[in-house]
Structure 1
Amino acid sequence: MFDVGIGEMAVLVVLALVIFGERLPQVAQQAGRTLRQIRQMANSAKADLQEGLGPEFKDFDVADLNPKRFVQKHLFEDDDDQRAAGVNGSVFDDEPGYSAVGTDLEYGERPPFDNEAT
Structure 2
Amino acid sequence: MFFGMSTPDLLVIVVLAALLFGPDKLPEFIRNTTAFLRKVRDFSEQAKEEVRAELGPEFKDFEFEDLHPRTFVRKRLLDNDDLGIGELRDGIDEIRSALDPASEPAAPQEPRAPVDLRKRPAADGPSGERPPFDADAT
TM-score range, shorter chain: 0.5 to 0.7
Following the alignment from structure 1 to structure 2, what is the Cα–Cα distance between the partners of residues 72 and 57?
19
TM-score, normalised by the number of residues in structure 1 = 0.61
Report matched runs for 1:86-105 at 5 Å. 88=82, 102=86
Please report the TM-score for the alignment, with normalisation by the length of structure 2: 0.53
The equivalences for 1:72-87 within 5 A come to: 72-77=74-79, 79=80
Q: Identify if the C-alpha distance between structure 1 residues 52 and 7 changes in structure 2 by more than 3 Å, giving closer, same or farther.
A: same
Count of residue correspondences: 90
Gaps of 5+ in 2: 91-104, 107-138
Cα deviation code 1:8-63 (max 9, x no counterpart):
22221111100011111101001110111111111111111011011222221111
Question: Unpaired runs of 5+ in structure 1?
Answer: 81-87, 90-99, 109-118
User: Residue 7 of structure 1: CA displacement?
Assistant: 2.2
Q: 4+ residue runs of structure 1 moved beyond 3 angstroms?
A: 100-104
**What is the alpha-carbon distance in structure 2 between the residues aligned to residue 74 and residue 101 of structure 1?**
12
Residue type at the aligned position of 1:102: G
